């Protein structure tokens, strides 16, 4: 993948070298930066190219960027832009303000979560993992540290970060390299032949850790030696101890963990099967009421109207959908969850039919026919070969429900601006980015004022 130089990131963002440090990892430091034109804050991960000695290492880096560019899921951190200087690659990411899952675990009473809260978190992790697997990606390095909370709210969503070790795979293909982090690493990874089920093992370890405060095989800051942790993992030997904690945990939670922590990966469930295990079915929905399963009538109306939009107007909605900030799409996120019946992080035609036909029948719109729902589905789908609606395609269709403001227009303009990078994004074949760039060509000859007026007109009046 080509990541050429272009406009220096410092011209677009403040704080790239001096902003507060949010954290640091193997590849470099992550800083809080501010988009100069709009004041919007982001996290910039600076990848120090000096630390990459080999061509293979550089390839791995490019792979991480390529993978992140393709992902569009509510529980996976969004990569907004990519820049490159002679010494660094900069990944501009959605900012997660809620801190690390690891730190919040420490803040819980007795250093562990309640079952309902744990189930809510595991459900989100599995949703992200299922999505990754459906795209042919294994994470291989899942651990508590890879999950951040989007905001400081109690019910904040989790976001998966860091794909440094992920790579594409074909189902059933066996990978040889042994990678991973001691306390969540799966036995088959230690043995050297593994596939996507190693991520399911990691989820089992995380569930155990969230429910009890301790990892099942040791190795998370505990006193066990690495050899002991390794042997425990290879034997799959763990106990639901201490009793004072585990006696209070439901049998279905223990069954869930036992089902995931099976040493033979072939006997381990897939992410989709794990999502439907009894414990998650019972606990993850506890806080949900019946009204949570009903779509907001305004959103239904927005979706119905969207299918009448001209192609250009749809494209603009798509462009703007990528500029919306978490607080602007909070409500749509709830509606998306209602439509994502199978927990895949995308919307299938079947789910859309199921929810829309019922909702519209019960609401003020009158009953929608299956054909009408299919039309809505087709209107939302940017890439006609895809069989599901992605998160941002849904946001684009529901855009009229969001307060689009000056910042969004500026951001949209800024990202369409010719001198900008995001070329790595352009290189990939995803259509919504292609639409982004086809608009870029379309608007090549105008500057900000024209853009501003055009976008207002196109969004406000049907054409
Ligand atoms: P590495 O891949 O180099 O190990 P990470 O992606 O894990 O780096 O990031 C290191 C730390 O930076 C994280 O543990 C987290 O605290 C912080 N961080 C990373 N991404 C974000 C983000 N999008 N928003 C807020 N903080 C972040």
Residue with tokens 């039919």, as numbered in its chain: 353
Residue with tokens 């809620």, as numbered in its chain: 98
| Ligand 1 atom 3: residue of nearest CA | 25
Ligand 1 pocket test: pick from 19, 31, 40, 45 the residue with the most ligand atoms within 8 Å of its Cβ: 45
Residue ranges, CATH 1.10.510.10, the chain:
101-287
Best CATH choice for the domain 9-93 from the list 3.30.1360.120, 3.30.200.20, 3.40.50.150, 3.30.470.20:
3.30.200.20
Calpha distance 125→184 (Å, rounded): 14
Averaged pLDDT, 60-84: 84
Is 141 among the residues known to form the active site? yes
Residue ranges, CATH 1.10.238.10, the chain:
291-460
pLDDT band at 215 (very low <50, low <70, confident <90, very high): very high
Give residue 431's pLDDT.
39
pLDDT band at 68 (very low <50, low <70, confident <90, very high): confident
pLDDT band at 125 (very low <50, low <70, confident <90, very high): very high
| Ligand 1 atom 4: residue of nearest CA | 25
Ligand 1 centroid – CA 337 distance (Å): 26
In terms of DSSP bridges, do strands 388-389 and 347-348 run parallel, antiparallel, or are they unpaired? antiparallel
Residue ranges, CATH 3.30.200.20, the chain:
9-93
Q: State pLDDT tens for residues 285-332.
A: 655 555 556 788 888 889 889 988 888 888 888 888 989 988 899 889
More confident residue, 61 or 274: 274
More confident residue, 262 or 224: 262
Ligand 1 centroid – CA 275 distance (Å): 27
Query: Of all atoms in ligand 1, which is nearest to the CA of residue 161?
Result: 6
- Establish whether 159 is an annotated binding residue: no
Ligand 1: residues with CB < 6 A are 22-27, 30, 43, 45, 77, 93-96, 100, 145, 148, 161-162, 164
CATH class of segment(s) 291-460: mainly alpha
Burial class (CB in 10 A: 0-12, 13-18, 19+), 408: buried
For the domain 101-287, what is the CATH code? 1.10.510.10
Give residue 437's pLDDT.
46
Angle between helix axes 115-134 and 197-212 (nearest 10 degrees) is 170
Q: State pLDDT tens for residues 147-173.
A: 999 988 888 899 998 765 444 333 444
Contacts of 27 (CB under 8 A, 6+ apart): 45, 47, 48, 51, 61, 164
Given 14, 110, 141, 419, which residue is catalytic?
141
Say which range, 193-207, 234-248, 294-308, has the weakest mean pLDDT: 294-308
| Ligand 1 atom 12: residue of nearest CA | 23
Give residue 208's pLDDT.
95
């Amino acid at each position: 993948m080509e990541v050429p130089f272009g406009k220096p990131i410092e011209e677009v963002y403040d704080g790239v070298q001096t902003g507060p440090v949010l954290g640091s990892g193997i590849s470099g430091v992550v800083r809080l930066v501010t988009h100069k034109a709009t004041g919007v804050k982001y996290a910039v991960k600076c990848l120090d190219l000096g630390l990459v000695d080999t061509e293979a290492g550089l390839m791995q880096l490019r792979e991480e960027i390529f993978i992140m560019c393709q992902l569009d899921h509510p529980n996976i951190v969004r990569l907004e832009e990519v820049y490159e200087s002679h010494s660094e690659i900069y990944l501009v990411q959605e900012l997660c303000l809620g801190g690390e899952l690891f730190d919040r675990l420490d803040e819980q009473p007795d250093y562990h979560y309640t079952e309902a809260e744990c189930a809510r978190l595991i459900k989100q992790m599995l949703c992200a993992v299922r999505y990754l697997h459906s795209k042919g990606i294994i994470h291989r390095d899942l651990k508590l540290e890879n999950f951040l909370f989007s905001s400081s709210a109690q019910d904040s969503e989790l976001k998966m970060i860091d794909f440094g070790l992920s790579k594409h795979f074909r189902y059933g293909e066996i990978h040889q390299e042994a990678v991973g982090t001691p306390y969540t690493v799966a036995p088959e990874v230690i043995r050297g032949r593994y596939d996507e089920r190693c991520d399911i093992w990691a989820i089992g370890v995380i569930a155990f850790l969230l429910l009890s405060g301790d990892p099942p095989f040791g190795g998370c800051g505990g006193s066990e030696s690495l050899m002991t942790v390794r042997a425990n993992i290879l034997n799959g030997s763990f106990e639901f101890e201490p009793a004072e904690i585990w006696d209070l945990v439901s049998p279905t939670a223990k069954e869930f963990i036992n089902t995931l922590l099976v040493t033979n990966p072939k006997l381990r469930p897939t992410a989709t099967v794990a999502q439907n295990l009894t414990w998650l079915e019972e606990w993850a929905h506890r806080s949900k009421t019946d009204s949570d399963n009903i779509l907001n009538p305004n959103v239904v109306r927005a979706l119905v109207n969207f299918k009448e939009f001209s192609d250009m107007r749809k494209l603009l909605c798509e462009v703007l959908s990528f500029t919306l900030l978490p607080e602007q799409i909070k409500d749509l996120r709830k509606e998306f969850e209602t439509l994502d019946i199978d927990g895949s992080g995308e919307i299938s035609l079947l789910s859309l039919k199921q929810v829309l036909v019922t909702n519209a029948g019960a609401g003020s719109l009158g009953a929608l026919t299956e054909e009408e729902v299919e039309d809505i589905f087709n209107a939302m789908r940017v890439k006609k070969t895809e069989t599901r609606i992605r998160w941002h395609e849904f946001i684009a269709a529901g855009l009229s429900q969001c307060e689009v403001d000056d910042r969004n227009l500026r951001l949209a303009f800024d990202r369409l601006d010719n001198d900008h990078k995001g070329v790595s994004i352009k290189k990939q074949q995803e259509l919504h980015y292609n639409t982004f760039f086809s608009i870029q060509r379309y608007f090549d000859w105008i500057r900000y004022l024209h853009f501003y007026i055009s976008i207002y007109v196109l969004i406000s009046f049907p054409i």
